[in-house]
Amino acid sequence: MASKNGRRKLSEKGLLTPDNCVVALIDLQPQMLFGVSNFDRQTIINNNVALAKATRVFDVPVVLSTVETKSFSGNIWPQIQSIFPGQQPIERSSMNSWDDKNFVRAIEETGRKKIVLTGLWTETCVALPTVQAIRDGYEVYVVEDCCGDVSQLNHDNAMKRMIQAGAKPVTGLSTMLEWQRDWTARDTYDAVMDIVKQHFGAYGMGVEYAYTMVHGAQPTRYLEYAIVAPQASKPAA
């Protein structure tokens, strides 16, 4: 049986599929990242970008949301916005996105009852909507390696609280592979391998090695590095 996008429909039985979930990326903004100390911040960016790319590969609906952009947090990371160039984040004043009617409406409009959720910080902008969404009948999958907090204790306590409420911890890589699931699904295979090679370290290097040394493929070619030209200075006021 095929899904709406024409791909083979995957069995569910408790698993995530591209057809049964929505991804929410919450408060991926500079000021929120500044406060993270429990996890390498560049890795958090990397993992969120990889997951965001995977949603494009598998046509999974995405809800973007930001908090107090102008007064405190700054714009959504440009690395994320570039993956969804035509999508404006839902702006909020509430730390808890589940208190924001526009955010909840965007989730409801997808018609999906499984939410794959990432954000900063774990104890507030992730934990609060997770607990309440579960109470409202949703299944929530928290992408732990895409989240971060002001300390390890804060992050760990938030994860414990969400798991006790019924949330399921996952990673960005595990989510993408759960959507792929079968290496004979060639329509997404190459795009998934491209994400792996760019974002998943030793795994990606292993894939590159196997392609070139075992299967005789040509090395992956990336755009040639170009030095950014200096911008003309603005005239003094």
Residue 4: inside a domain, yes or no?
A: no
57 touches 177 (CB < 8 A) = no
List beta partners, residue 180.
none
Q: Is the dihedral of CA 182, 188, 193, 199 positive or negative?
A: negative
Residue 230: inside a domain, yes or no?
A: no
Whether 42 and 122 share a structural domain = yes
Whether 189 and 146 share a structural domain = no
Whether 41 and 147 share a structural domain = yes
Residue 5: inside a domain, yes or no?
A: no
Residues 6+ apart with CB under 8 A from 94: 67, 100
Whether 205 and 89 share a structural domain = no
Residues 6+ apart with CB under 8 A from 221: none
Structural domain of 200: 182-214
Residue 61: inside a domain, yes or no?
A: yes
Whether 40 and 140 share a structural domain = yes
Whether 191 and 90 share a structural domain = no
Whether 136 and 206 share a structural domain = no
Question: Is pTM, for the whole model, over 0.85?
Answer: yes
Whether 89 and 199 share a structural domain = no
At position 46, the amino acid (one-letter code) is N
Give the per-residue pLDDT at 232.
80
What's the rounded Cα separation, in Å, for the pair 146 and 110? 22
Show pLDDT as tens, one digit a residue, over the chain (237 residues). 556 666 778 999 999 999 999 999 999 999 999 999 999 999 999 999 999 999 999 999 999 999 999 999 999 999 999 999 999 999 999 999 999 999 999 999 999 999 999 999 999 999 999 999 999 999 999 999 999 999 999 999 999 999 999 999 999 999 999 999 999 999 999 999 999 999 999 999 999 999 999 999 999 999 999 999 998 876 665
Whether 118 and 34 share a structural domain = yes
Residue 226: inside a domain, yes or no?
A: no
Residue 92: inside a domain, yes or no?
A: yes
Residue 89: inside a domain, yes or no?
A: yes
Domain tally, the chain: 2
Whether 156 and 55 share a structural domain = yes
79 touches 28 (CB < 8 A) = no
3-state secondary structure of 141: strand
Whether 78 and 156 share a structural domain = yes
CA angle 31, 34, 36 (to 5 degrees): 120
Whether 199 and 143 share a structural domain = no
Which residue is it, tokens 């955010």? 103
CATH code for the domain of 92: 3.40.50.850
Residue 237: inside a domain, yes or no?
A: no
